[in-house]
Structure 1
Amino acid sequence: MWHESNRDLDGAEVCFERSLALAKHVGHSDRVANALVNIGRIKVHRDEYGSSIPYFLEAASAYEALQRWDGMARALNNAGIAYADLGQLDEAAEIYGRALELHERIADVVGGSSLKTNLAQLHMRRGDLDAAEVLIEQSIAAKRSLDDGYGLAIALSHADSSPPNAMTNPQPSWLLEARSIAETVQEQLVIDEINSAISTLAH
């Protein structure tokens, strides 16, 4: 769990930098990759998205050398999120695509379905609603098969985010289902986001 204060983040970053240096010194590649990801996440928590990307990409390369495809996919996904937050959508799409290929290679349904939700949001921002719809439906189907309540609530909450759906259905059924699931798993932040979306569409 990450702490909120800058002091806590600074202290954590110092620890991870030391861990990174030691891991590189002794040649422990797995710990190198883990430390790089953790430093990248600290940068993200500070909204330093541009600074986080090199750490995630270096971690992805380290995982690739170890043939740790799951770790590589997660590191790439983090980099894709950072690119998207910077508004660099082409770069984000390319990175997400690489990560998705890895998830599919190792048959990681959980990671792949979550990444498809991220990629769908990216397509929405680029105006490609057809591509977004396909990915969202795939993600929803995967979450249902996994009985992943939290993930399903997230996927459903994005399912009717496109302008055409919002215009034709002021309270989309998928949003209502998402809220019901989020209430069941007691994810208050998700509930608040969904209620806000429903309120916006209703006016």
Structure 2
Amino acid sequence: MPRDPISRLESARDDLDAGRPDRAYAALSGGFPSSLTGEKRFLRAEALRAQGFFRRAQADYRAALKALGPEDLDLTSLAFLGLARCARSLGATREARQAMSRARASVRKGDADLLETLALEDALIDRAEGRYARSLLRLAPLLRSSRRRRDWSAVGFILWAMGGARRFAGDLRGSHRDFQESLRAFRRAQDLEGQTYALFGLGGVARVRGFFVEARAAYAAAGRLLGSGPDLFGRAYAHCGLANVLRQLGLWNEAERRYHRSYALYARLDDRVDLAYVDWGLGQVHLRRGELAAAERRLRAALAAFAAGGEARGEVLCLQSLAQVVHALGRAAEGEKLFGAAVRRARGAGLHAHLEIFT
């Protein structure tokens, strides 16, 4: 590994571009002159975010912004964008909006590419807030622009984003189509990371439509692409998604093992909302086995985490599952209240999670 600071920065950039964020992070160890501290901390943040360490990445983005000067407008914009992406991933959409305002204020005049990137992030924040129609409206011109440029990775990413918005808006068939087209675009671009996330989307929508063979194959393929690589978030997601399918197939012991593998990875990332989804899945396993006390404990833990993170879909799923558990335990009145709360929460957030039977 090169030891002079300039070469280490270049090495880190190359590793990030090549999908090796762990190596990029390693290249940035050791001292750097103060004039390079801002870029070093920015690249460290990018490396951490690429692995799923969103909270740690936020600290480095903030440190980068403190070190960057007025002449570093490009990096300043990108650091605020990185902060927004981390905040969105953590469910803090208000914080994401604030970071986006700062990012937009620091864009160099005439930087059309960065402005388009910011427009894409705005659409993703809309989606995270449950504003699915608005998100799709914003994504449509970006998709047309990417297709005109024949930028197949961008096409794949935008279709992936559209697929997620359509899924949660209830357009499952349209979502399925988007994810299939996204996967084709990423394959055309030979973008392995993109293919992984398109497969996640495809597995998710296939599962909720009851297409378990397709869903299982998609999650397994994503897991193979990730292997034991540095994308801890992706690996955790692959295990959890596959566990969900195995649970639906009645393979509860296999599902439980996958959930625990997912839990261990999410715990390393301190990803509390996704840990809650694993808790919910384990609660479902306990419920199907008739282990009602264990199911209630898992589901209440998940519900508390979802509520703290403002994760409406998770709250709906937990409230509905808890209603079933407490009813089975003989607490019908409590079950009715929980079920009613689930429906109100779903409708208030514009979701249809209370109708999903194959989730």
Sort the TM-score into its range (normalised by shorter chain).
0.7 to 0.9
Residue 106 of structure 1 and its aligned partner are, at CA, apart by 0.7
Structure 1: runs of 5 or more not aligned: 194-203
- Contact 1:123–1:129, Cα closer than 8 Å, also in 2: yes
1:50–1:142 Cα change, 3 Å? same
Structure 2: runs of 5 or more not aligned: 1-165
TM-score between the two structures when normalised by the length of structure 1: 0.73
Question: What is the aligned residue count?
Answer: 187
- Contact 1:182–1:191, Cα closer than 8 Å, also in 2: no
Aligned to 1:198: none
Superposed CA RMSD: 3.3
- Contact 1:37–1:55, Cα closer than 8 Å, also in 2: yes
Aligned to 2:270: 107
TM-score between the two structures when normalised by the length of structure 2: 0.44
Percent of residue pairs bearing the same amino acid type: 20
| Residues 1:158 and 2:321 aligned together | yes
After superposition, what is the alpha-carbon deviation per residue over 1:107-131, rounded to whole angstroms, capped at 9, x for unaligned? 1001111221121011110122232
Aligned to 1:50: 213
Match runs of 1:159-178 below 5 Å: 159-162=322-325, 165-166=327-328, 168-172=330-334, 175=338, 178=341
Cα distance in 1 for partners of 2:355, 2:195 equals 38
Q: Which amino acid aligns with 2:334?
A: P
Give 1:21's match in structure 2, choosing from 181, 184, 187. 187
After superposition, what is the alpha-carbon deviation per residue over 1:155-199, rounded to whole angstroms, capped at 9, x for unaligned? 22222423x644532221651672485178344645679xxxxxx
1:31–1:94 Cα change, 3 Å? same
After superposition, what is the alpha-carbon deviation per residue over 1:12-45, rounded to whole angstroms, capped at 9, x for unaligned? 53x345335335xx4x331231233244345436
Cα distance in 1 for partners of 2:275, 2:172 equals 29
- Contact 2:320–2:354, Cα closer than 8 Å, also in 1: no
Cα distance in 2 for partners of 1:41, 1:62 equals 17
3-state SS in 1 of match to 2:324? coil
3-state SS in 1 of match to 2:223? helix
After superposition, what is the alpha-carbon deviation per residue over 1:83-136, rounded to whole angstroms, capped at 9, x for unaligned? 122222222111111111111111100111122112101111012223212211
1:65–1:192 Cα change, 3 Å? closer
Larger Rg: 2
| Residues 1:129 and 2:292 aligned together | yes
Match runs of 1:189-200 below 5 Å: 189=352
